[in-house]
C-alpha cells in the first residue's frame, strides 16, 4: 500500500493529487460546457428542453455506464494522478494508457506504488505535451501536402488507416510475449464480443477483457498452468554444541 508521505506544505501527496485532480476535472468540465453555452448566448439560440432531453436519453445510459466503467478500469492501471490527468487531457486508450503502462513496465514498478504513481503521471503529462507540440508542428508543416497523403486515391492512404493497429500491435507484442498464457482468454473474449457487437465502445469492451484476464489467470494459477514459486522447506539448524 502507498504510504502517505507529506509534501513541503505538510499535506500527504496522494491527498494533494485528489484535491488538484478534482479542481482541474471540474475546471475542464466547466470550460467544455462554456463553449456551447457562450455560442448559444451570443446567437440567442438555445435548444428546446424537450428536444435536448430526448436526445440525451438515447445516449445517456450508454455514456454513463461507459464513464463509470472506464474510471474503475483505468484507475488501477494508471494510478490516481495519471487517471485525473488522462481524463482531463483525453485520448486515454489510444495514447495515455499505452504511455503510462510502457513507462511503468520499463521501470518495473506498479501503479499502486509511490514510484508507479509518480512515473505514470510524468509519462502521461509528457505524452500530452508531446502530442500538443507534434500536432501543432504537423498541422503547420504538413497542411499543404496532407490532403494529397490522406486522399482516397493516394498510395499512402492505407498506411494512415493502420496507425492505431500498428501502435497497439507494437505495444501489445511485448506483453503477449511475456505473458502469452494469460493473454489467450482475454483475446478470445474480445474477439467473440466484437463478432456479435462490433460497435461496442472500447471502454466497455476493456472491462470484459480485464475480467476475463483476471479470472483466467486465477484459474490457471490454481491448476498449476502458471509458474509458481517453489517453496522449500526450512532446514533445521544443527543443535548447538555444548
**Model pLDDT, residue 231:** 41
Q: How many CB atoms lie within 10 A of CB 102?
A: 16
Sign of CA dihedral 114, 117, 120, 122: negative
Question: What is the spatial distance between Cα 171 and Cα 166, in angstroms, rounded to a whole number?
Answer: 9
Q: How far is CA 2 from CA 10, 112, 168, in A?
A: 17, 7, 30
Burial class (CB in 10 A: 0-12, 13-18, 19+), 13: middle
Instruction: State the Cα–Cα distance between residues 78 and 99, nearest whole angstrom.
Output: 10
Rounded Cα–Cα distance for residues 34 and 25 (Å): 14
The contacts found for 182-185 with CB under 8 angstroms, 24 or more apart, are 182/213, 182/216, 182/217, 182/220, 182/226, 183/213, 184/216, 185/212, 185/213, 185/215, 185/216
Tell me which residue of 93, 125, 121, 119 sits closest to 106, measured CA to CA: 119
| Residue 110 and residue 104 in contact, taking contact as beta carbons nearer than 8 Å | yes
pLDDT of residue 4: 54
Low-confidence winner among 44-53, 125-134, 170-179, 208-217 (lowest mean pLDDT): 170-179
Q: Judge whether 113 and 77 are in contact, CB under 8 Å.
A: no
The predicted model gives 195-209 an average pLDDT of: 81
pLDDT at 47 (0 to 100):
83
Please give the DSSP secondary-structure letter assigned to residue 46.
-
Tell me what the mean pLDDT of segment 37-52 comes to.
88
With 80 as the cut, is the pLDDT of residue 19 above it? yes
Q: How far is it, in rounded angstroms, from Cα 15 to Cα 2?
A: 12
Q: DSSP secondary-structure letter at 2?
A: -
Contact 102, 171 (CB under 8 A): yes
pLDDT surpassing 60 at residue 180: yes
Asked which of 69-83, 107-121, 127-141, 161-175 is least confident by mean pLDDT, the reply is 161-175
Cell numbers 439560440 correspond to what residue?
45
The full DSSP string for 66-127 is: HHHHHHHHHHHHHHHHHHHHHHHH--IIIIIHHHHHHHHHHHT--TTSHHHHHHHHHHHHHH
Amino acid at each position: 500500500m502507498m504510504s502517505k508521505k507529506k509534501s513541503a506544505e505538510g499535506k500527504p501527496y496522494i491527498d494533494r493529487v485528489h484535491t488538484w485532480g478534482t479542481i482541474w476535472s471540474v475546471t475542464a468540465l466547466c470550460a467544455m460546457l462554456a463553449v456551447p453555452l457562450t455560442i448559444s448566448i451570443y446567437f440567442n439560440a438555445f435548444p428546446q428542453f424537450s428536444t435536448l432531453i430526448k436526445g440525451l436519453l438515447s445516449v445517456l445510459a450508454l455514456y454513463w455506464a461507459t464513464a463509470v466503467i472506464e474510471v474503475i478500469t483505468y484507475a488501477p492501471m494508471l494510478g490516481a494522478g495519471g487517471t485525473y490527468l488522462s481524463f482531463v487531457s483525453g485520448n486515454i486508450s489510444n495514447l495515455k494508457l499505452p504511455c503510462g503502462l510502457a513507462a511503468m513496465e520499463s521501470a518495473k514498478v506498479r501503479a499502486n506504488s509511490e514510484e508507479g504513481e509518480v512515473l505514470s503521471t510524468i509519462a502521461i503529462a509528457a505524452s500530452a505535451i508531446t502530442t500538443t507540440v507534434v500536432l501543432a508542428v504537423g498541422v503547420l508543416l504538413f497542411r499543404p501536402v496532407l490532403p494529397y497523403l490522406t486522399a482516397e486515391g493516394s498510395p499512402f492512404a492505407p498506411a494512415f488507416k493502420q496507425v492505431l493497429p500498428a501502435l497497439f500491435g507494437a505495444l501489445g507484442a511485448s506483453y503477449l510475449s511475456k505473458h502469452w498464457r494469460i493473454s489467450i482468454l482475454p483475446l478470445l473474449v474480445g474477439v467473440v464480443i466484437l463478432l456479435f457487437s462490433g460497435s461496442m465502445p472500447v471502454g466497455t469492451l476493456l472491462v470484459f477483457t480485464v475480467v476475463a484476464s483476471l479470472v483466467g489467470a486465477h484459474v490457471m494459477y490454481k491448476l498449476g498452468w502458471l509458474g509458481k514459486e517453489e517453496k522449500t522447506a526450512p532446514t533445521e539448524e544443527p543443535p548447538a554444541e555444548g
